[in-house]
Amino acid sequence: MSNPIVSALPQARAHSTPSLTRNARFSSTSQSVTAAVNILASTLELIISPFILSTLEGGQPVGRIKMELFADIVPKTAENFRQLCTGEYKRNGVPQGYKNCTFHRIIKDFMVQGGDFLKGDGTGSMCIYGGENFADENFTLKHSSPGLLSMANSGANTNGCQFFITCAKTDFLDNKHVVFGRLVDGLLTLRKIENVPTGPNNKPKVPVIISECGEM
């Protein structure tokens, strides 16, 4: 599957990749912090490395990230992420999910991308609904601030297991990527991840690993 081209950067060989190009072909969703306030009672709080529990960068703990999922607005997308965090989804009896998965792509002032627990390089994709991907649920929420969780994709209706966390307002991704959650704690941890040195294709020079993940 072809990968989106990141403006002013080498082509990213990732199944799911948000693009810096403002006329990118990807879907994006955005959510406002105001909207989130009204749905706290129906959201889930997870704890995972970098983006929840403690992430490891070069063997050193980076911190924890807590997030809530907008399950009342994008229930299917939120549930896919939740089950991959808890490991309750299984294939052939084997738990599938983000534990020990890496953030394979980091672009400062843009986003950090992870979730490819199949191949680890951005080319893997699967979902809890069978097959590799599922359709865009809606684009109600917008990429209006840092700390938003959104689905990475390789075009319309290609959501799988990969996701990214915004490091800034990225409204050019609206209506191209589905926003499904936000950080409620751990912005400093996100900034630490964002500043990890990178090499070709925005790959971190030291591993940034989700050492633990789950539901609180």
Q: Which of 70, 117, 164, 180 is catalytic?
A: 164
In a domain, 168, yes or no: yes
In a domain, 139, yes or no: yes
In a domain, 97, yes or no: yes
Determine whether 3 is an active site residue.
no
Average pLDDT over the chain, rounded to whole? 78
Q: Which of 31, 83, 133, 153 is catalytic?
A: 153
Check: pTM over 0.95? Answer yes or no: no
Determine whether 177 is an active site residue.
yes
CA distance 57 to 206: 6
**What's residue 10's pLDDT?**
27
* Residue entry with tokens 């649920």: 137
The CATH number given to whatever domain includes residue 86 is 2.40.100.10
Determine whether 15 is an active site residue.
no
pLDDT at residue 96 is higher than 70: yes
Determine whether 103 is an active site residue.
no
Tell me if 33 sits within 8 A of 69, measured CB to CB: no
**What's residue 54's pLDDT?**
46
Q: Quote the number of domains for the chain.
A: 1
Q: Which of 31, 96, 113, 162 is catalytic?
A: 113
Percent of the chain past pLDDT 70, that is, above it, reads: 72
Which pLDDT tens digit goes with each residue over 12-45? 333 456 766 543 322 223 332 222 222 222 233 3
In a domain, 7, yes or no: no
Q: What is the 3-state secondary structure (H, E, C) of the chain?
A: CCCCCCCCCCCCCCCCCCCCCCCCCCCCCEECHHHHHCCHHHCEEEEECCCCCCEEECCEEEECEEEEECCCCCHHHHHHHHHHHHCCCEECCEECCCCCCEEEEEECCCEEEECCCCCCCCCCCCCCCCCCCECCCCCCCEECCCCEEEECCCCCCCECCCEEEECCCCHHHCCCCCEEEEEEECHHHHHHHHCCCECHHHCECCCEEECCEEEC
**What's residue 210's pLDDT?**
87
pLDDT at residue 215 is higher than 70: yes
In a domain, 21, yes or no: no
Determine whether 164 is an active site residue.
yes
In a domain, 123, yes or no: yes
**What's residue 36's pLDDT?**
28
Determine whether 191 is an active site residue.
no
Which pLDDT tens digit goes with each residue over 167-193? 999 999 999 999 999 998 889 989 989
- Residue 131 gets the label, from left (phi > 0), alpha (psi -120 to 50) or beta, of left
In a domain, 90, yes or no: yes
**What's residue 207's pLDDT?**
87
pLDDT at residue 125 is higher than 50: yes
Range of the domain at 178: 30-215
Determine whether 105 is an active site residue.
yes
In a domain, 161, yes or no: yes
Which pLDDT tens digit goes with each residue over 47-66? 433 344 445 556 677 888 88
